[in-house]
Structure 1
Amino acid sequence: MKNIFMSLLLLAGINSFAQEAGKAGELLKNEVSTIEKQTSGNTERRNNNSDFSRSDKGNPQSNTKKNPNYQWNQNYGYAEVFVRIPEQGFFTVEVDDQAISNASGKYRFFDLQAGKIPISVYDNGYLIYKTTLRLRNNNRMVLDFFTDKGLYLLDSYPVQNQSYGFNDWNDIWNNPYGNQPGNGYPSGNVMDNTTFMQFFQMLQKNEKFDDGKIMMIRQQTNTTSFTSQQIRDLVKSLSFDKNRLMMAKLLYRQCADKNKYFLVYDAFDFDGSKRELMEFITQS
């Protein structure tokens, strides 16, 4: 019992260290000079309070705000909205908490959360249009706006995030800190069991050979993550162990509960395939 308690304490310490600020990455030099800090600090306080005290002048960092409560795994979401305004003028387009102002007529918004999102259009600072968009994760919405007609949805289509070199925000930002899916951190849009059964039945019905099944599963990984049990069923649906091994390696990155990936070993007929998957996971 004592050994179990000590192991839990050690595990908690490891997870805590995994989220330590400054643990990952290369520190880039702060090039702001002391004079610039003092000038900007005093200017900001003059704007906020014209009667700031004399003692405050000599301490430009006395009111510096610090926030040690880092948001390590905030769900930033990933949806895009592209708006075109093919008219002369200076417009501001605001989508959720993002705003872009220019006269070019092109307004592109990234890293939006899925769901109902407000969009507003301003002409030289005056609100002229407001409505609500319904965004889907990993999708881009493309719209045209005309001041005398309104906002028109032209298209909405999936965004292939792999073209950027990574699947989602967590892959590139959180993984260096050790915040891997399966340690309490989500991994994209995990398919619920009801939807998975629909997908699995369609896979079995429409694709009789491994090539077709592999193509269909690969396509789904663009927008979906799976549980270990779901991956086991997908891998086991293939006929040949070499294809099962390839798919098990591919889906490991899409697994939402990597701590249960041992369930996937049950999908193989040969011990050699199991051992190779174990080695792959150990080195990942």
Structure 2
Amino acid sequence: MKNIFMSVLFLVGSFSFAQEAGKAGELLKNEASKTEMESPKAKRTESRNSNNSGFRNQNGNNNGFRVKNPNYQWNQQYGYSEVFLRIPEQGMFSVELGDQFISNNSGRFRFFDLPSGRIPVSIYESGYLLYRTTLNVRNNSRLVLDFFTNEGLFLLDSYPVQNQSYGFNDWNDVWNNPYGNSGGWNDGGSYANLMDNSSFSEFMDMLRKNARFDDSKLSMIRQQMRTTMFTSQQISALVKEVSFDKNKLSLAKSMFSKCVDKHKYFLVYDAFDFESSKRELMEFVQNS
């Protein structure tokens, strides 16, 4: 009886700390049709040749024979980008990104030396196609994504790549912050993509100059949120720029995941005119 009780507790604990699919990030549309996914032809074969625009040329089908290329080149100037994709589920998954292909059961897929532009990505389980979409990769940037078989592919964020740095202190640091599992601070006590005070002042000037109404203000702020983290003080200042309380509340909730000092989020409460909005934000922060 004791063993049964302990097993139940273990299962409950596992679900309590499980990551909630779709809680963070932008869902990317699955472009693979149902027919493709159910057809045996959807299974990826290693003999398939691909030739994606922007990648190094494959000189056609050589019928199984290797042809020497006397015009070998190195250091082609086509840009540099990275894509990090995680599948937090058990199973043998494969990810094909442009002309690169990675297959493993660890759920960690890192792609380097990518050209900028639109790059197709396909995800397979045990060789069968699950998902296909197109990523818009920018030069000198790293896209971070999560894939859930029952939910889809989510673009969590984009980070600037400095000096082509390949690693992190902890692999999961890249994903933990969007799901509220970690503070995400670097050893230096700051985020690499945290907006400094000077840049924030410039952004505020641009916001006031180019956005007169709430809709345009919210659009401009949310566009910046895709690549930037903020302090509680900065978020409070941005929320104060919005006129209507319902829009203030929507912005404050959406920016909570982008806050580097969540323990000081009480500073944002001062941006509201009505006590009811303050209480709703407090409840949101408490339950996040």
Structure 1 length as normaliser, TM-score?
0.46
Larger Rg: 1
Higher RCO structure, 1 or 2 (CA under 8 Å, sep 6+): 2
